[in-house]
């Protein structure tokens, strides 16, 4: 099966009309995606998305289109024989690698993820099942070991995977209808107390017992909200807070002192995404607190994850599906987390991130670290009417995805309506808004 063409779509939803998903930094996000369709000489196409928050989606589309030159003309059989060859061809391209992480690594991830999607479809399997069925040594061959072996060797990775072979089918059966446990953000910054209560009750009725709250801007308000949430959910439910990198290290220490009494499970992104030593310091300072630290949704490379895991600075590993270079990088991170016994709690939300991370949750719990309800997978049902295979939960757990590949197909009308800037959703907006250049 040959890759013969690519289509890259700049898809943007004007979610900032309702301030959906806003945080202290991303004040008016328009949930967006660079959507890649790799066309083949068969009926199959490889699909992937890179989530963004509006302006800049075009930068990613530009990069992905350029990188497609490195995959158009190749075959699925080449890829399936060695996914690492394509990884190297992209990530280690001797000129493009100068572009560093960020746009470049995300664009490379888009190509890799679309190829993995294609392979899973051709095999007639959801992505998680494709991964579960791979040989341990094949998985090890997919990974770039150069910069991470001081934390995890190839041999250790294979050992971890071999160890889970016993009981693997039982776990696969067990999880074939009910997937990983899910958690939800109930406390968005903009919501009133009443809104939050209503959200909590709705989620509790659906079987959720783990809730997250956004914090950061005002210490007194944060503490009041934490108290309020804790009272609403009771002591038995999990309560987590997320500061979206709003603080410096000393500032974080100061704020977090006031968070000690409320039995928080984790504090997410208290400081900058690349401040490894800052995390080490926070972990030491709060070693006796109820909470541990979580981060990763904006960690740009496996090397950052390596340090956070090896040092014990984070106790929850929040992989993102589209920030690093696709399945290959994420598998490396999940295996490192398994070695250091840090539960993988993937970052969801955006457009279609949950649709992707559920596969990683499945693979991790069936084939890598083993199933447990400490591995919470973020669940946000934003924009699920936009996709052919929406995520769903049952009794607070993901419903196991059955569609082949990632299951990332968008509803065609949705895709057409939100093409930027020519789609219906955008064409009557002011030029400033369309340019997404408005200051907030």
Residues taking part in catalysis = 214, 347
Minimum CB distance to a second copy, residue 89 (Å): 7
Whole-angstrom CA distances from 266 to 35, 43, 239 are 32, 45, 8
Q: For 94-97, which contacts have Cβ atoms below 8 Å and span 24 or more sequence positions?
A: 96/67
Which of 142-150, 257-265, 330-338, 415-423 is the region at the interface with a second copy (rule: CB under 8 A)? 142-150
State which of positions 77-116 bind a second copy (CB under 8 A).
89, 92-106
Q: Which is nearer to a second copy, 2 or 89 (CB)?
A: 89
Number of other CB atoms surrounding residue 43 within 10 Å: 7
Asked if 361 touches a second copy (CB under 8 A), the answer is: no
Q: Which residue, 29 or 126, is less far from a second copy as judged by CB?
A: 29
Which residue among 192, 205, 412, 440 contacts a second copy (CB under 8 A)?
440
Closest CA to 419 of 440, 430, 406, 434: 434
Residue in 42, 82, 137, 147 binding a second copy, rule: CB under 8 A: 147
CB 154 within 8 A of CB 335: no
Q: Of 60 and 344, which has the nearer Cβ to a second copy?
A: 60
Count the residues in the chain. Answer: 440
Instruction: Specify the pairing of strand 377-378 against strand 393-394.
Output: unpaired
Interface size with a second copy, residues (CB under 8 A): 69
Beta strands across the sheet bearing 45-52: 3-12, 32-40, 45-52
**Closest distance to a second copy from the beta carbon of 6 (Å):** 14
Cβ distance 127 to 389 under 8 Å?
no
275 binds a second copy (CB under 8 A): yes
Convert 55-72 into a string of H (helix), E (strand) and C (coil).
CCHHHHHHHHHHHHCCCC
* Phi, psi (degrees; rounded to nearest 5) at 316: -135, 125
| Binding residue for a second copy, selected from 15, 52, 237, 328, defined by CB under 8 A | 52
Among residues 134, 168, 223, 249, which is the contact residue for a second copy, using CB under 8 A?
249
Is 54 a binding residue for a second copy by CB under 8 A? The answer is: yes
Residues near a second copy (CB under 8 A) are 25-30, 52-56, 58-60, 62-63, 66, 69-70, 89, 92-106, 145-150, 248-251, 271-278, 281, 298, 300-301, 303-304, 306-307, 310-311, 323, 435-437, 439-440
């Amino acid at each position: 099966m040959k890759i013969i063409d690519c289509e890259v779509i700049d898809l943007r939803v004007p979610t900032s009309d309702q301030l959906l998903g806003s945080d202290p930094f991303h004040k008016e996000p328009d949930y967006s995606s660079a959507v890649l369709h790799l066309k083949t000489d068969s009926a199959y196409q490889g699909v992937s998305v890179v989530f963004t928050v509006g302006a800049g989606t075009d930068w990613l589309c530009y990069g992905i289109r350029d990188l497609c030159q490195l995959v158009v003309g190749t075959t699925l059989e080449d890829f399936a024989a060695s996914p690492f060859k394509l990884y190297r061809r992209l990530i280690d391209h001797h000129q493009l690698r100068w572009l560093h992480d960020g746009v470049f690594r995300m664009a490379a991830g888009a190509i890799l993820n679309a190829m993995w999607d294609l392979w899973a479809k051709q095999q007639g399997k959801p992505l998680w099942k494709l991964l579960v069925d791979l040989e341990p040594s094949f998985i090890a061959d997919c990974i770039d070991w150069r910069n991470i072996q001081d934390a995890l060797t190839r041999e250790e990775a294979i050992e971890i995977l071999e160890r889970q072979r016993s009981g693997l089918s039982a776990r696969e059966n067990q999880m074939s209808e009910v997937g990983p446990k899910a958690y939800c953000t109930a406390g968005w910054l903009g919501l009133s107390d009443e809104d939050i209560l209503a959200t909590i009750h709705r989620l509790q009725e659906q079987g959720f017992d783990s809730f997250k709250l956004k914090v950061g801007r005002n210490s007194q308000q944060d503490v009041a909200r934490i108290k309020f949430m804790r009272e609403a959910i009771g002591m038995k439910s999990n309560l987590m807070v997320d500061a979206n990198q709003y603080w410096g290290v000393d500032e974080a220490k100061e704020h977090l002192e006031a968070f000690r009494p409320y039995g928080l499970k984790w504090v997410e992104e208290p400081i900058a995404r690349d401040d490894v030593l800052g995390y080490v310091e926070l972990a030491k300072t709060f070693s006796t607190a109820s909470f541990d630290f979580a981060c990763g949704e904006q960690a740009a490379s496996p090397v950052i994850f390596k340090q956070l895991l090896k040092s014990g600075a984070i106790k929850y590993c929040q992989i993102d599906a589209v920030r690093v270079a696709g399945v290959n990088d994420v598998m490396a991170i999940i295996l490192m987390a398994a070695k250091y016994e840090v539960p993988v709690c993937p970052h969801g939300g955006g457009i279609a991130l949950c649709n992707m991370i559920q596969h990683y949750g499945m693979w991790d719990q069936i084939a890598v670290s083993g199933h447990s309800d400490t591995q919470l997978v973020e669940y946000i049902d934003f924009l699920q009417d936009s996709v052919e295979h929406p995520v769903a939960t049952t009794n607070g757990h993901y419903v196991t995805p059955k569609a082949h590949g990632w299951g990332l197909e968008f509803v065609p009308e949705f895709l057409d309506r939100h093409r930027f800037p020519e789609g219906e959703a955008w064409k009557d907006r002011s030029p400033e808004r369309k340019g997404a250049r408005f200051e907030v």
